[in-house]
Structure 1
Amino acid sequence: MKDKYPLWQTSGWTFGVLLVIPILAIFYTAIGASDELFSHLMDTVMGAYTLNTLGLVFGTSLLAAVFGLPSAWLMAMCRLPGEKWLQWALVLPLAMPGYIIGYIYTDWLDYAGPVQILLRDWFGWQSYQDYWFPDIRTLGGACLVLALVLYPYIYLLARTAFMEQSASLLQSARLLRCSPLESFRRISLPLARPSIAVGLSLIAMETLGDFGTVSYFAVHSLTTAVYDTWLGYSNLNAAAKISALMLLAIFLLISAERFSRRRQKLFQQHNGPNEDVRYLLSGWKKALALIWCWGLIGFAFVLPFLQLVYYAWHYFAQSWTAEFREYSINSLMVSGSAALLAVVVALLVNFYHRLDGRPVSLAPMRMSAMGYAVPGTVLAIGVMIPLTSADHLINDFTRAMDWGRPGLVLSGTMFAMIFAFVVRFGAVAVGSVESSLAKISPSLDMAAKTMGCASVPMLRRVHLPLIRRGCLIAGLLVFIESMKELNAALLLRPFNFETLATYVFNYASDEQLELAALPAILLVFVGLIPLVVVNRSLEQSH
């Protein structure tokens, strides 16, 4: 018979329920009666917004697959000069915010940009009527920019899948005189389908939740509809209904991905430690492979980053201001608080499940991790609904007690942002702590109990020293993701409160990217840290 742990049970379920409340609040508000604004949106623009969103998701996913799959196969199945550097560099674009790439490419490719000026000088064109040049600020341009930033998702997963494929299958393909292209098309690609499906679903969810890029490119999507409905019309009910539609779309997307491979089971023998079945490319094939990989890195990361460095160097005096330092401190405070709380919640729900052991104790862990699939804009609406209601209750109580009205103590302060970040990125902390605890033998728990150690001292003296690294990684990842989060911060920030992400967005939206370069570089460097962690884990596992 399992021991009862009422303190851990209460704590685990309390935090699990708290972190799932924003998602439930969205659906609870959405099922209410429709108001005039939502009915008007449904009758006028919602159809176009939905089509734009579908086109954005499809176009971005397709282009990301075109960028990521060949790169993943080349890195996994071919021997190339500088491959150690390439496999790291191909992940770098994930650290670059999509809206920054969009601003830079718009600056380069606009009519007044250096590319079109150079073309007019070369060919003697006088005006835009003399030639045709694609407009970057369109739906297609937004798909291209987002694909350049998000293709590492499918690259990482597909590369891992290709590396884990059976060596005997690849050798059999060579005996049957299959070319590298045929081997890729007929063997590697079908076997990697589950990983590719997961990568595409991640890209689709990130695209669905993007606001900075689509807003700047004037692509009206469901995300911009949520933002405009809340900030433009102050209508929480209509914003919740649109958010519920987006959550349903995400649920259908995840369900379709799992349903498509429900009967697919792959049992593969990994390559031996001394077995290298990779192709040795030479001649024009090697040159083409190197041009493809390094060209992708150049357009997706190196050239935009060099542009940021150029702006930061020439406008350092204008960028290094008291506001920049203040907003950096704001980001550190909010992100640090969110990271600390997320680790505490992860410890509580994971340790409760370890102590209890019953399937029901797994529920708080899964509830704490549900917010990761929710776009930041949608999650902000879900956070505002319960916090606004709680603020009303607090003010009604204090007024009844003649204590005055404290105002928006929850929804109008940093608490709303911190709570949203914990809900959004709690899954990262929960997963990291869960994997660390899973490596600790249950015999240590039994030995501690035999020596009369209660649950709290056992956690402090036995488990925490052993999972310290996992907790540090969990806190670091939540901190970094919170530093970069734009969507939720835009909707939940208090008055006269900026983070580095909103600071960069505001300057870039005002066509002053040169003044946003310094904080943007800081965000890029912060975003590189989890990529280093991911690549190191891949190297250790292979």
Structure 2
Amino acid sequence: MIFLRRQPPGLQAAGPAWRCASFLIAIGVLAPVLTLAWLAFGSGIGHWGPLFAHVLPQATLNTAVLLAGVGTLVLLIGTGCAWLVTAHDFPGRGVLHWALLLPLAMPTYIVAFAYLDLLHPIGPVQGAIRWMLGFDSPRQFRLPDLRSMPGAIFVLGFVLYPYVYMTARAMFMTQPAHLMEAARMLGESRRGAFFRVALPLARPALAVGLSLALLETLNDIGASEFLGVNTLTVAVYTTWITRSDLAGAAQIACAMLFVVVALVWLERNGRRHQRFGSAQRMRAVQPRRLRGGAAWAATAAAALPVLIGFVAPAAYLVWESAKRLRQGGGISQGLVASLGNTLTLASGVTVVAVAAGLVVAWAARSQGSGPGRARWQARAATLGYAVPGTVLAIGLLTPALAFDAALATAFGWQGLPLMSCGVVLVVACAIRFLAMPVGGIEAGLSRIPPAIEQASRLLGETTAGTLRRVHLPLLRPAMASAALLVFVDAMKELPATLLLRPANFDTLATWLYAEAARGTYEEGAIAALAIVLAGLLPVVLLARNQLGTPSATLAAEKT
């Protein structure tokens, strides 16, 4: 009798076309990094001397200080707020537990744009403070300049803390109450039980949230440049655009990759140390009701990050947009064109990313999880989110130009067809956000019982037919959520769009960037408000899931 090796029950082997497509997608995600290394080390060592002497030391120091400051701030705010709303009951807790997610709707460059005007020496905040103190001139009293390293840490920290808040609160909600009770019975105070029991158990979740916040910090270009902090990301942009030095930009981008590897190692190390107890459902920590001054102090402490990270900049954008419309300025044709470009770009990125994510997830499911399986393709396809947009842009530029030249030679076209029609920009954004559809669709496929596939195959359906008639209808919620996340993130993407957009092509993000550079805040406020309104959609979905479902958590989707 001959025994044939088969797939696990219910899982059908993907055809060669699916496996080949999944392989090509994974290679496509890795290609920019490989190209970057070739550019950096294949252009000779002549560039490295000036970079090491004049650019890299200061940019690396600024990046390290910014990452350290933002990391400390997001850990303090995110962990503190997560424990406050999980273990305590106070006025407004029912609203604040989801309102603390609202800063996720505010891109960092928009918050920096808003606070530069709000905290300007002749702006409303400092003007009100001088009025209360009886001063008449900024020379008599002024706050420290926001255009500084502390200002950048302040802005980025109060926008990115929800990454830590989400992961920490999910962990605190699942911790068994009897562990804290045992610590209290052994003589520990509530504070001691938190630091010696609850916090150590939450360290893997904190590492995941912290790494996500730091990756967003490293990817940021708008806020850092607005606030005068020359990070590695800003150095890449200025070296390429201002100095027209692609090789030098590639070498700086390689230095950024070392930081990315360290952050990914932090996240993976934290996840590797996760441990799970028995499957028996444990009693969760019951919130302790606070009264009197302690209750209102807890309300103020939990509300402060929401006020700084969302309410104040959002109110500023609404005020400035309304003022622009009241003054009869209206909405310019350029802004309308930028909105159309943004929707077109986001739609294209969404279609490409979700389709690629479906291919990768389906091939990975079909190949199973046993030893020797080629599931590395799914893991490789999700690495794009860890690579900053500037690095992706530089890595894609050389192969895109080579492909454009081949097309021009083959068909007699003029110019750069792929670059000029935005195909390269769509590919860059799709690579960057591919982790979301791959993760979401894989999670959706894992919930479909193998028996459904078995029944379909027994009834004579092919593998492709089973996917089309059985899986796709069941995957609609997961695919819709992934598509929404990709669409909104593509609308907000600034670094890759700045570097790879076609000539005379502006999105809302690049329009805002240009308006901020010119100091015309009223027109930029309308673009920023449109981006924020779009960014609220995934935050609302996240809040509806009450942070209790890991597959619905934005951080889980992105990792």
Which category describes the TM-score, using the shorter chain as reference length? over 0.9
Match for residue 320 of structure 1? 331
C-alpha distance in structure 1 between counterparts of 2:254 and 2:373, whole Å: 27
Contact 1:34/1:238 (8 A) holds in 2:
no
- Please say which of residues 441-450 and 288-297 is displaced more in the overlay: 441-450
Equivalent residue in structure 1 for 2:214, among 204, 216, 228: 204
Match for residue 286 of structure 1? 295
Residue 28 of structure 1 and its aligned partner are, at CA, apart by: 2.2
Contact 2:75/2:161 (8 A) holds in 1:
yes
C-alpha distance in structure 2 between counterparts of 1:63 and 1:169, whole Å: 28
Letter in 1 for 2:507: T
Q: TM-score, normalised by structure 2?
A: 0.91
Letter in 2 for 1:457: G
Deviation string 1:464-514 (CA, Å, 9 cap, x unpaired) is: 111111111111111111011111111111111011111122112222222
Distance 1:539 1:140, change over 3 A: closer
- Please say which of residues 100-109 and 176-185 is displaced more in the overlay: 176-185
Match for residue 533 of structure 1? 541
Residue 426 of structure 1 and its aligned partner are, at CA, apart by: 0.6
Q: TM-score, normalised by structure 1?
A: 0.93
Equivalent residue in structure 1 for 2:313, among 304, 315, 328: 304
C-alpha distance in structure 2 between counterparts of 1:88 and 1:48, whole Å: 39
Match for residue 167 of structure 1? 177
Residue 138 of structure 1 and its aligned partner are, at CA, apart by: 0.2
- Please say which of residues 513-522 and 130-139 is displaced more in the overlay: 130-139
Equivalent residue in structure 1 for 2:66, among 56, 69, 72: 56
Match for residue 378 of structure 1? 391
Residue 389 (str. 1) matches residue 402 (str. 2): yes
Match for residue 333 of structure 1? 344
C-alpha distance in structure 1 between counterparts of 2:279 and 2:197, whole Å: 14
Residue 334 of structure 1 and its aligned partner are, at CA, apart by: 0.9
Deviation string 1:397-418 (CA, Å, 9 cap, x unpaired) is: 44xxxx3x43111123311111
Contact 1:5/1:356 (8 A) holds in 2:
no
Fraction of identical pairs, as percent: 36
- Please say which of residues 15-24 and 141-150 is displaced more in the overlay: 15-24
SS of residue paired to 2:545: helix
Q: Where in structure 2 are the equivalents of 1:456-471 lying within 5 Å?
A: 456-471=464-479
Q: Where in structure 2 are the equivalents of 1:68-467 lying within 5 Å?
A: 68-125=78-135, 130-131=140-141, 133-259=143-269, 265=275, 267=277, 272=282, 277-316=286-325, 317-357=328-368, 359-398=372-411, 403=412, 405-467=413-475
Contact 1:20/1:367 (8 A) holds in 2:
yes
Deviation string 1:238-272 (CA, Å, 9 cap, x unpaired) is: 11111111112110222245446755635378875
RMSD, aligned α-carbons = 2.2
Structure 2 spans left out of the alignment, 5+ residues? 7-12, 551-559
Residue 314 of structure 1 and its aligned partner are, at CA, apart by: 1.4
C-alpha distance in structure 1 between counterparts of 2:206 and 2:280, whole Å: 19
Q: Where in structure 2 are the equivalents of 1:7-46 lying within 5 Å?
A: 7-34=17-44, 36-46=46-56
Distance 1:278 1:175, change over 3 A: farther
Contact 1:414/1:493 (8 A) holds in 2:
yes
Residue 332 of structure 1 and its aligned partner are, at CA, apart by: 1.0
Letter in 1 for 2:333: A
C-alpha distance in structure 2 between counterparts of 1:269 and 1:354, whole Å: 25
C-alpha distance in structure 2 between counterparts of 1:264 and 1:164, whole Å: 13
Letter in 1 for 2:395: G
Contact 1:146/1:207 (8 A) holds in 2:
yes
C-alpha distance in structure 2 between counterparts of 1:512 and 1:297, whole Å: 27
- Please say which of residues 455-464 and 418-427 is displaced more in the overlay: 455-464
Contact 2:55/2:235 (8 A) holds in 1:
no
SS of residue paired to 2:175: coil
Letter in 1 for 2:394: I
Residue 19 of structure 1 and its aligned partner are, at CA, apart by: 2.6
Distance 1:236 1:456, change over 3 A: same
Distance 1:79 1:177, change over 3 A: farther
Contact 2:367/2:375 (8 A) holds in 1:
no
Contact 2:40/2:247 (8 A) holds in 1:
yes
Residue 515 (str. 1) matches residue 523 (str. 2): yes
Letter in 2 for 1:26: L
Letter in 2 for 1:49: A
SS of residue paired to 2:419: coil
- Please say which of residues 131-140 and 81-90 is displaced more in the overlay: 131-140
Distance 1:493 1:101, change over 3 A: same
Residue 307 of structure 1 and its aligned partner are, at CA, apart by: 1.1
Distance 1:466 1:196, change over 3 A: same
Distance 1:82 1:66, change over 3 A: same
Deviation string 1:378-404 (CA, Å, 9 cap, x unpaired) is: 111122121112112223444xxxx3x
SS of residue paired to 2:43: coil
Letter in 1 for 2:109: Y
Contact 1:79/1:278 (8 A) holds in 2:
yes
Residue 280 of structure 1 and its aligned partner are, at CA, apart by: 1.3
Contact 1:428/1:477 (8 A) holds in 2:
yes
Distance 1:368 1:258, change over 3 A: closer
SS of residue paired to 1:99: helix
- Please say which of residues 525-534 and 424-433 is displaced more in the overlay: 525-534
Count of residue pairs brought into register by the alignment? 536
Residue 125 of structure 1 and its aligned partner are, at CA, apart by: 4.5
